[in-house]
């Protein structure tokens, strides 16, 4: 099972990027997670699209198209998803008639230093994914709150209960994706 994963943060030390790396390690055997770094994806512009997708966008859309499912680590800015996350969805939703993201099973999760742990950004993201016909896993939800206490300085997820729950979450993702085979 091939899962395309991306984090809506460009930061080198991003908790959400670290969460994806931890997921790669803790995923069930059948799940192969490929992380796509959104660095280099330009802001969506229909004029640019008309001239032909930029190379990085083509690569992103192709990796979504060939994946069995999608995993999105969604940081939270100002009680919503980041512009980076939304911009990625916008590109992946084009063309309207042949959108690579349409119909894909997906799961969202996220990490934040706050106590609300990306609850609001995940809600907003789910709403947006609905509009592009993505089959988003409803439960379980995974919110890594007080993320700065859960990773070590190298970005390794060292908190044992978070590791345990992440494993459960990823197994649920696998089951969710399988249910659409
Ligand atoms: C934040 N942050 C934040 N956190 C949160 O839980 N709710 C929020 O509304 C916001 N708002 C917000 C706005 C802006 C502009 C910034 C820069 C930050 C904190 C945010 O969760 C934190 O910077 C994370 O570390 C971002 O995710 P990455 O980059 O670590 O993946």
> How far does residue 180's CA lie from ligand 1's centre (Å)?
33
Characterise 146 by phi-psi region: left (phi > 0), alpha (psi -120 to 50), beta (else). Answer: left
* Ligand 1 touching residue 175 (CB < 6 A): no
In this predicted model, what pLDDT tens digit does every residue of 39-80 receive, in sequence order? 999 999 999 999 999 999 999 999 999 999 999 999 999 999
Domains and CATH numbers, the chain: 2-178 (3.40.50.360)
Nearest CA to ligand 1 atom 22: 112
| Cα→Cα distances 11→14, 16, 51, 86, 178, Å | 5, 9, 29, 16, 32
Task: Using pLDDT thresholds of 50, 70 and 90, give the confidence band for residue 113.
Answer: very high
Q: Which residue has the tokens 């670290």?
A: 18
In this predicted model, what pLDDT tens digit does every residue of 150-173 receive, in sequence order? 999 999 999 999 999 999 999 999
Closest residue by Cα to residue 132 from 75, 176, 88, 66: 88
State the CB neighbour count (10 A cutoff) for residue 180.
Answer: 11
């Amino acid at each position: 099972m091939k899962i395309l994963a991306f984090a809506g943060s460009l930061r080198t030390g991003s908790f959400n990027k670290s969460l994806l790396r931890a997921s790669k390690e803790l995923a069930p055997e059948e799940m192969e997670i490929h992380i796509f770094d959104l660095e280099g994806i330009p802001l969506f512009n229909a004029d640019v699209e008309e001239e032909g997708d930029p190379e990085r966008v083509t690569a992103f859309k192709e990796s979504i198209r060939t994946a069995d499912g999608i995993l999105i680590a969604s940081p939270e800015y100002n009680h919503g998803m980041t512009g980076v996350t939304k911009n990625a969805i916008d590109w992946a939703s084009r063309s309207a008639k042949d959108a690579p993201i349409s119909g894909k099973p997906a799961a969202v999760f996220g990490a934040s230093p706050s106590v609300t742990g990306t609850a609001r950004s995940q809600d907003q993201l789910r709403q947006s994914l609905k509009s592009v016909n993505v089959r988003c896993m409803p439960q379980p939800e995974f919110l890594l709150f007080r993320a700065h206490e859960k990773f070590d300085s190298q970005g390794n997820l060292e908190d044992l209960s978070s590791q345990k729950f992440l494993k459960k979450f990823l197994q649920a993702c696998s089951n969710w994706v399988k249910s659409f085979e």
